[in-house]
A = this chain, B = another copy of it.
């Protein structure tokens, strides 16, 4: 399949593995890239020197395109950007912040830049500052999320009408059917997080991978809306946040409750009670930890099968 997304990244399938916090090391990104998708190293949970090592290892492990995800609110974002340029990374996905400054910096160095948004307004702003493509992430996505709470089904068609650069859908996508549905809505590619968080090569703690596999429909919720909205598994920590929010907790009280290193504690260290467990609603249909290459292959095969099924339909238009 050739479209603007496969051309932009030089990849075989328009299937992108999200650069998730605590889950996306070079081991995962390189396998996805070798399987024909676009692997992304998640810098959010890495010190600058650690990121450098992951980039170097990824270059050794694949000759195919790969990318790095950089949250623009990262405290030493300038250091990460220096490493990107020094190591010759060709594609950067930015998120969680204003893309204005760093898009022009990266574009001047010849880097392809994609920005993650959750609303029409921010999609237009990203296009204005010159990004090469936009990832639109719906309300169902895991982790940090937008305030508009627009779902993938509504966000993709609305953004499609508003911008002309290629659009990549995220949130609720984990199978060939959900990938095909996203493409029908107007996306030219998909970014998949939760399914790869539960892959063999993910750096998540096995307890967290098991929690993803066990999660059923209704087991995650968007919370911390006064601070930065984040979708979490409804564990003990989540319940504490819920009680605080129901009682009208202030931002300061929520910051206190969140404390530091909650995400690491949960997703990387495996504390299923006190940790912050960021995952998408689509975890409901993820039922097994599999190697990432197998995940890519399965999704692409399901996609093609779902497409073929549509061909065999007969559908008569009423005269």
Interface contact A218-B281, CB-CB below 8 Å:
no
A247 on the interface (CB 8 Å rule)? yes
> Which has the most chain B C-beta neighbours within 10 Å: A217, A314, A315?
A217
User: For residue A269, which residues in chain B have a CB less than 8 angstroms away from its CB?
Assistant: none
Nearest chain-B residue to A247 (Cβ)?
B248
Interface contact A303-B315, CB-CB below 8 Å:
yes
In which size bucket is the chain A interface?
35 or more
Interface-lining segment among A103-111, A127-135, A179-187, A195-203? A179-187
8 A Cβ contacts from A284-315 to B = 284-285, 297, 300-301, 303-304, 306-307, 310-311, 313-315
Which residue of B154, B185, B216, B303 is within 8 Å of A284 (Cβ)? B154
Interface contact B315-A307, CB-CB below 8 Å:
yes
Interface contact B153-A152, CB-CB below 8 Å:
yes
A54 on the interface (CB 8 Å rule)? no
Assembly CA distance A81 to B107 (angstroms): 65
Chain A, residues 148-161, CB within 8 Å of chain B (1/0): the string is: 11111111011101
A172 on the interface (CB 8 Å rule)? yes
CB distance from A220 to the nearest CB of B (A): 9
Nearest chain-B residue to A281 (Cβ)?
B154
A99 on the interface (CB 8 Å rule)? no
Interface contact B218-A150, CB-CB below 8 Å:
yes
Nearest chain-B residue to A121 (Cβ)?
B218
A221 on the interface (CB 8 Å rule)? yes
Nearest chain-B residue to A219 (Cβ)?
B148
CB distance from A214 to the nearest CB of B (A): 14
User: For residue A300, which residues in chain B have a CB less than 8 angstroms away from its CB?
Assistant: 315, 317-318
Which 7 pairs, one residue from A and one from B, show the smallest C-beta to C-beta distance? A248-B248, A153-B172, A148-B218, A181-B181, A151-B151, A154-B281, A1-B315
Q: List 24 A-B contacts (CB under 8 A).
A: A1-B314, A36-B318, A120-B217, A138-B151, A139-B139, A150-B217, A150-B218, A151-B171, A151-B172, A153-B171, A153-B173, A155-B217, A157-B175, A157-B178, A157-B285, A158-B284, A180-B310, A181-B182, A181-B185, A183-B310, A300-B318, A304-B317, A307-B315, A311-B311
A→B interface (CB under 8 Å): 1-2, 12-13, 35-36, 119-121, 138-140, 148-155, 157-159, 161, 171-173, 175, 177-178, 180-186, 216-218, 221-222, 226, 246-248, 280-282, 284-285, 297, 300-301, 303-304, 306-307, 310-311, 313-318
